[in-house]
Amino acid sequence: MKEHYILGIESSCDETSAAVLMNTTELSNVIATQTTIHQYFGGVVPELASRAHQQKIIPVVDDALKKAGIAKNDLSAISFTRGPGLAGALHVGVSFAKSMAYALNIPMMEVNHMQGHVLAHFIQQKNEFQPPPEFPFLCLTVSGGHTQIVLVEDFLKMTIIGETIDDAAGEAFDKSAKILGLPYPGGPLIDAYAAKGQPVFKFTHPQIAGYNYSFSGLKTQFLYFINEQVKKNENFVEENLNDICASIQKVIIDVLMAKLMKASADTGISQLAIAGGVSANSGLRNALLSLQSQNQAKVFIPPFKYCTDNAAMIAVAGYYKFLNHQFASLNVEPLARMPF
């Protein structure tokens, strides 16, 4: 097979990332996170994110090329996140990709960030082949901004069959963490505390039709529950943090899994994948693994480094577009809201 070197660029939120793939094999995947910049504000501040991307993009791309052991003239094409995401943050990556592709006179491919998350399952490691999912499969894509059940029929043929009508699963984690006074992003912290607790506090599931989700009611239910308990005992959160985290994590995962299982039963598709930042959650990973051990599904769980935002997933999605000659024009603009 001919060797193509694809540079991927991701700047949709608070990670500046550049990766080089040789076809689908990762040669480098450099990620500069901005967590410390935004933590003080309790969430991502768009203007600060754009500025940090501007500062980081050149060193990050340079580092990705060095780690891959190739020169920029070896690149076959450049793949970049066009959207969805923060407009200013996307602008940095899109403008950079356009200038670099123009200067090198190579094609470029625009990638939908959410499709990138799904296609992360096809990234290969050097010297270690991981069998990817076969088509068709269902992918539960859960991030800070999205919650989707995606029917994936081919690399470039996927349809959203269910999604959140309000908050995303990542937001449900982060907002619950905020209610508990934990710093942003709270998802990984809830995961860590939950591992030491038991889900003793019960919450009701939202009742939403079809494969859609809703998490905003759960957040309100959680807020009222905590306020009620704190009225009775002002140390309630400190004294029960592990159990509280285990309880909110359990209900979020149960809700996510119930719709995924319903979609699997209705479509007859038993290859199930997860993707996006929340797929790093150990409770969700274990819920999928237990399905597999009961022979209810064949599951695909990405390595941690491909769960949260990274450019390798943008490069692999771009690679399939490259093979299909689906190139972007130099007039391409970022799209904060991008159709799937």
Residue numbers at the binding site for Zn ion (CB under 5 A)? 143, 309
Please tell me whether the peptide bond between 334 and the residue prior to it is cis, using omega within 30 degrees of 0: no
Handedness of CA 66, 69, 72, 77 (dihedral sign): negative
Distance from C-alpha of 49 to C-alpha of 144, rounded to nearest angstrom: 15
Strand partners, 273: 139, 300
Give the CA diameter of the chain: 68
Cβ proximity to Zn ion: between 146 and 321 the closer is 146
Cβ proximity to ligand KG4: between 5 and 215 the closer is 215
Cβ proximity to ligand KG4: between 80 and 173 the closer is 173
Distance from C-alpha of 26 to C-alpha of 126, rounded to nearest angstrom: 7
Write down the least CB distance from residue 81 to ligand KG4, Å.
10
Distance from C-alpha of 205 to C-alpha of 197, rounded to nearest angstrom: 21
Write down the least CB distance from residue 129 to ligand KG4, Å.
25
CA 149 remoteness from chain centre: 13
Contact positions toward ligand KG4, by CB under 6 A? 13, 143-145, 170, 173-174, 185-188, 191, 276-278, 280-281, 308-309
Which of the choices ligand KG4, Zn ion, none does residue 318 contact, using the CB cut-off of 5 to 8 A by kind?
none
Cβ proximity to Zn ion: between 144 and 199 the closer is 144
Write down the least CB distance from residue 268 to ligand KG4, Å.
29
**CB atoms inside a 10 Å sphere around CB 258:** 13
Write down the least CB distance from residue 319 to ligand KG4, Å.
20
Strand partners, 272: 138, 299
Residue type present at position 281: N
Residue of minimal Cβ distance to ligand KG4: 277
Helix (H, G, I), strand (E, B) or coil at 264: helix
Distance from C-alpha of 163 to C-alpha of 148, rounded to nearest angstrom: 4
Write down the least CB distance from residue 276 to ligand KG4, Å.
4
Q: What is the DSSP letter of 213?
A: B
Distances (CA, A) of 140 to 153, 161, 281: 14, 10, 13
Which of the choices Zn ion, ligand KG4, none does residue 191 contact, using the CB cut-off of 5 to 8 A by kind?
ligand KG4
Write down the least CB distance from residue 105 to ligand KG4, Å.
32
Write down the least CB distance from residue 86 to ligand KG4, Å.
10
Which of the choices ligand KG4, Zn ion, none does residue 188 contact, using the CB cut-off of 5 to 8 A by kind?
ligand KG4
Cβ proximity to Zn ion: between 26 and 309 the closer is 309
Cβ proximity to ligand KG4: between 264 and 281 the closer is 281
Cβ proximity to ligand KG4: between 163 and 309 the closer is 309
Distance from C-alpha of 80 to C-alpha of 130, rounded to nearest angstrom: 25
Which of the choices Zn ion, ligand KG4, none does residue 281 contact, using the CB cut-off of 5 to 8 A by kind?
ligand KG4
